[in-house]
Structure 1
Amino acid sequence: MTAEGPVRVLLCDDSAAARAVMSRMLASDPDIRVVAKASNGGDALAQLAAMPEAERPQVVLLDLEMPHMDGMTALPLLLKAAPRTAVIVASALSQRGAAATMSALRAGAVDYVPKPSAAAGGMNGGQFQAELVAKVKGWARMRRAPGRALQAATHRILSPRVGAQATRPKVIGIGSSTGGPQALAVLVAKLDRPLGVPLVVVQHMPAGFTTLLADHLNRIGTLPCSEAREAEPLVAGRLYLAPGDRHLMVKEAGSGLVVQLGDGPPENFCRPAVDPMLRSLVATCQGRVLAAILTGMGSDGLAGCRAVVGAGGAVLAQDEATSVVWGMPGAVARAGIASAILNVEDIAGRIMAAGADGKRT
C-alpha cells in the first residue's frame, strides 16, 4: 500500500467480460482499487460527476470503440471534468486501432494498452496483466507528483561518469518501452537543431502501431522520422524507428551504414528488442555509439549497454522520477554503466551536444 492509498481506477469498456477480466487483474494488486465501471463514455462521465473529489479516479482505462458515446468523444470531456486524471486508452490490435490510439495520444491520453486478440490468448496472458498494472501504477504516480512530470523534471546526475566519449558518435541508439511514446515525444520535440549523426529507436510496440508512431513523432519534431526499411541507408539528422515485430539492426554497406531488419526470436520477450540493435551498433561503429535508455518494464537494453561501454561508447539513462516504469533505465543505472541519469529533456540536450559537435557525453 502506498502512502497515498491505493490507486483509484475507473474502467470504461462496453464489454462486460473485458471489464470483469481487467477488474480481476487490477484487484490482484493491493495498491490498486477499481472504484467504478462504465459501459460507455456517457456512463463514465455521469459516474465521475457523482463522485466526491477525494474519491475520483486517478486513472481511467478507456475503450475507444463503444456504443452511445465512444472513447474519442468521451476523452476531451473526461480530461475537462478531471484534468489531473491519467487516461489510458485500450486499443484493438489492428491498423484502425493503431490510428485511433495515436489520435487519442494527440488528444491528451497518456498511454495505451493493446487488447490482445482471442488467438493470442485474449486478456488471460500474464504479459498483458503485467503491462496493465505497471501502466496504471506508473501513470498514477506521475499524476500524484505533477512537479516531477516528464516535461518539468529537475536535472539529475546520479551516477559516476562511465565511458565518456571524446569523439562524436557515429550513431545514437535509443530504447524505450512502457511510457515510451510520451517520453519519445518529449525527447523528439527537444531535438530542435540539426544533428550530424543518425538516430535509431526501438520502442516495444506491436506491428502497425510503429508506422503511426513514426508519423506522430515526425509531426512533433524538426528531425525527419520514419519507420525503418530493409537496406535503407542511415542518413545524418534522421530518426529511424524499428517496425513492430521486427528487430532493427545496423550493418556496414560500402562506406556507410544501412538498416537490417530481422525476424529472429524475441529477446527479453520482445521483438523488436533493444539489445540486438545495440549489439549491431557496437559491431559496426568501433565503439562510437551513444545509447539512451528510456522508461520501460524489464531489462531490455542492459546487455547491449554493457557492450556499448565495453567498446568505448557511452550510455544515458532516464531517471526514476520521470520514468513511468524504472525497469530498463533502472537496470542500466544499477549496473553502474550509465555516464549520466537524467530526465528526458536533459537526455535530448546531451544527444544534441554529442551529435552536433562531438562534445564529451
Structure 2
Amino acid sequence: MSLKVLVVDDSSFFRRRVSDIINAAPRLEVIDVAVNGKEAVEKALALKPDVITMDIEMPVMDGISAVREIMSAQPTPILMFSSLTHEGAKATLDALEAGALDFLPKKFEDIARNKDEAVNLLQQRVQQIASRRALMRRTAVRRPVTPTAARVSTTRATESVSPTGRPATAAPASRFRSSGKSYQLTAIGTSTGGPVALQKILTKLPANYPHPILLIQHMPATFTAAFAARLNSLCQITVKEAADGDLLQPGVAYLAPGGMQMLLEGRPGSAKIRILDGGERMNYKPCVDVTFGSAAKIYQDKVLSMVLTGMGADGREGARMLKSAGSTVWAQDEESCVVYGMPQAVAKAGISSEDLPLDRIAERILVELKRQ
C-alpha cells in the first residue's frame, strides 16, 4: 500500500517538482496538492494523508499557522520546506515548535551533491516521518488532566506525550539514582527532531549548571545562529553558536556551527573549541562522531553524553570512544523519538547504559549531577 502525500506550496513549479520526485518512489503517492495554508488544512482533514509537505510563506494562510491547525485537529507528520536564510531559519524553527517533524531547504542543491542524491533524500525523509502517523493519531484525543491525575504516582509507570504527539512511556516514577560518577563536560548529539528535543531538555537546566555543554545538531549553516539565539532566549543557561577559540565555561552550551566541525583541544579545565572546515567527504557537518571523539580524548571518563532522536548512525562511533574511555552514554528511547535511528544505533551496539524518554532526560541529568 502506498503512503499518501499532500503537497502544499503556492508555486506551481515547486508543487510539480516535489510531486514528480515523490511519485517516482514505489511506496509514495501524491494524492492532492494545495496552494495555501487554508486549503492545506481543509484537504488534510478531508483526505487524511500519511504525510504533508508544507511551504512556509503562502497567501491566505501561512505554513506555520496551517501546521498549528492541522496538529490540533488532525495530527499528521509534516515536512517543511524552507529558504536557507536567517529569517527562513527562524520561521522553520517556529514551524517545528508548532508540530512539524522535519524540514528541508527549498533549493535541493543546498542539501545534496547531485540530483539523484537530492531525490533520494526527499523520498527517504517522507517515508521516514510517515512511520509516525499512527502514533500521532493515537494520541490526538487527550483526556483532561485533573489535579489528582497530574500527581506523579510512586507505584506505577506514568505516560507522557512527546513534542511529536507520540506517547512516551516513562521509567517507573520512583526517583532516579545518581551513579556517583563525577563529570566535567556534557555532550549531546542529535538530528531529525533535535531542535524540539534540545529545547525541552535545556530549558529545564539551572543557570548554575556545573560544567560546559556541547551541542551537535545536524543543521544547515544559516540555521545554527538563529537556533542558538532562540535557545538562549528560552533557557536559564547561556546558549551560543560555538566560535573558534571559545574557552569552555560552566553553564554555557556551545552549538556546533552548521557546515563545520567542532573539536576540542587543551586540557580539562582549560579546554577550548576549534571550529574546522566541514570536509567534502564528511556526510555530516557538524558530525557527532567527530565532537564526541575529540571530547573522549581530552576528558576521558568525565563526559556525560547522550544521543537523541535522528536519522542514521552518527554518534555511534564517537559514543563508543567515550564509553571506552570510561564516560557515560545515554540514548533517547524509541517511543519519544521522531526518528529512532541514531539512538537505536547506540543502543543496539550495547554502548548506552540507559535509554530514556525525552520528558525525563533533564531530570535524569540533574539527578546524575546531584542537583536534585
**Shorter-normalised TM range:** 0.7 to 0.9
Q: Does residue 1:296 correspond to 2:310, yes or no?
A: yes
Q: Which has the higher contact order (CA 8 A, sep 6+)?
A: 1
Q: Does residue 1:62 correspond to 2:77, yes or no?
A: no
Question: Structure 1's 41 and 265: CA in aligned 2 closer, same or farther, altered over 3 A?
Answer: same
Question: Structure 1's 124 and 288: CA in aligned 2 closer, same or farther, altered over 3 A?
Answer: closer
Kept in 2, the 8 Å contact 1:156–1:343? The answer is: yes
1:200 partner letter: L
Q: Does residue 1:35 correspond to 2:31, yes or no?
A: yes
Question: Structure 1's 311 and 149: CA in aligned 2 closer, same or farther, altered over 3 A?
Answer: same
Question: Structure 1's 254 and 31: CA in aligned 2 closer, same or farther, altered over 3 A?
Answer: closer
Give, in whole Å, the separation in 1 of the partners of 2:351 and 2:68. 42
Give, in whole Å, the separation in 1 of the partners of 2:35 and 2:224. 29
Q: Does residue 1:318 correspond to 2:332, yes or no?
A: yes
Report deviation, 1:169: 1.5
Kept in 2, the 8 Å contact 1:251–1:260? The answer is: yes
Query: Where does residue 137 of structure 1 map in the other structure?
Result: 130
SS state at 1:244 partner: coil
Kept in 2, the 8 Å contact 1:205–1:244? The answer is: yes
Report deviation, 1:15: 2.5
Range that drifts further, 325-334 or 126-135:
126-135
Q: For 1:202, which of 190, 212, 216 is the aligned residue?
A: 216
Q: For 1:91, which of 72, 82, 97 is the aligned residue?
A: 82
Question: Structure 1's 75 and 310: CA in aligned 2 closer, same or farther, altered over 3 A?
Answer: closer
Kept in 2, the 8 Å contact 1:195–1:356? The answer is: no
Report deviation, 1:77: 4.3
Instruction: Summarize the alignment of residues 73-88 of structure 1 with structure 2, pairs less than 5 Å apart.
Output: 73-79=65-71, 82-88=73-79
Query: Where does residue 341 of structure 1 map in the other structure?
Result: 355
Report deviation, 1:11: 1.2
TM-score by length of 2: 0.81
Give, in whole Å, the separation in 2 of the partners of 1:250 and 1:267. 21
Report deviation, 1:156: 4.5
SS state at 1:101 partner: helix
Query: Where does residue 188 of structure 2 map in the other structure?
Result: 174
Kept in 1, the 8 Å contact 2:54–2:79? The answer is: yes
Give, in whole Å, the separation in 2 of the partners of 1:239 and 1:201. 7
Contiguous gaps of at least 5 residues in structure 1:
158-163
1:315 partner letter: V
Question: Structure 1's 337 and 191: CA in aligned 2 closer, same or farther, altered over 3 A?
Answer: same
Q: Deviations over 1:203-226 (max 9, x none)?
A: 000011111111222233322211
Q: Does residue 1:187 correspond to 2:201, yes or no?
A: yes
Q: For 1:331, which of 345, 354, 357 is the aligned residue?
A: 345
Q: Deviations over 1:319-344 (max 9, x none)?
A: 11111111111000000111001111
Query: Where does residue 63 of structure 2 map in the other structure?
Result: 71
Q: Deviations over 1:153-180 (max 9, x none)?
A: 22259xxxxxx96432211110001111
Q: Does residue 1:216 correspond to 2:230, yes or no?
A: yes
Kept in 2, the 8 Å contact 1:61–1:90? The answer is: yes
| Number of residues of Structure 1 aligned to a counterpart in Structure 2 | 343
Q: For 2:321, which of 276, 300, 307 is the aligned residue?
A: 307
Q: Deviations over 1:213-248 (max 9, x none)?
A: 112222333222111111111111221111111111
SS state at 1:256 partner: coil
Give, in whole Å, the separation in 2 of the partners of 1:131 and 1:202. 22
Report deviation, 1:67: 4.1
Q: For 2:284, which of 252, 255, 270 is the aligned residue?
A: 270
Q: Does residue 1:16 correspond to 2:12, yes or no?
A: yes
Report deviation, 1:192: 4.4
Question: Structure 1's 254 and 128: CA in aligned 2 closer, same or farther, altered over 3 A?
Answer: closer
Kept in 1, the 8 Å contact 2:51–2:126? The answer is: no
Question: Structure 1's 355 and 214: CA in aligned 2 closer, same or farther, altered over 3 A?
Answer: farther
Contiguous gaps of at least 5 residues in structure 2:
140-158, 173-177
Query: Where does residue 273 of structure 2 map in the other structure?
Result: 259
